[in-house]
Amino acid sequence: MARRRPRSELPPGGLLDWTSSQHWSQQARPCRYCGRPTQLRDSRRTPAHKVCAETALIRQTAEAAAAYHQNGIL
């Protein structure tokens, strides 16, 4: 039986686990975040560098936390 990673543990290399071949395309297209060419695809098959996607995820999380804090929810 395969050992599962605890939820609190990050995958090797950062926040997102893009080890699946589904995240690769033969054709380079502009990253949705920075515009530079990439052969990587996110979970919706949109061109995106892993680092760019992780940076956007961190930014979105921080913005959501700030909004909750500002509204007295957190």
SS3 percent helix, strand, coil of the chain, rounded to 5, is: 30, 20, 50
Per the domain annotation, does 66 fall within a domain?
yes
Question: Which domain does 34 fall in, by range?
Answer: 21-70
* pLDDT of 62 over the 70 cut: yes
Per the domain annotation, does 28 fall within a domain?
yes
Are the C-beta atoms of 48 and 32 separated by less than 8 Å?
yes
- Alpha carbon distance 61, 11 (integer Å): 18
Per the domain annotation, does 48 fall within a domain?
yes
Per the domain annotation, does 2 fall within a domain?
no
Which residue is associated with the tokens 């990439």? 38
pLDDT band at 67 (very low <50, low <70, confident <90, very high): confident
Q: What is the pTM of this model?
A: 0.68
Work out how many domains the chain is built from and give that number. 1
Higher pLDDT, 5 or 70: 70
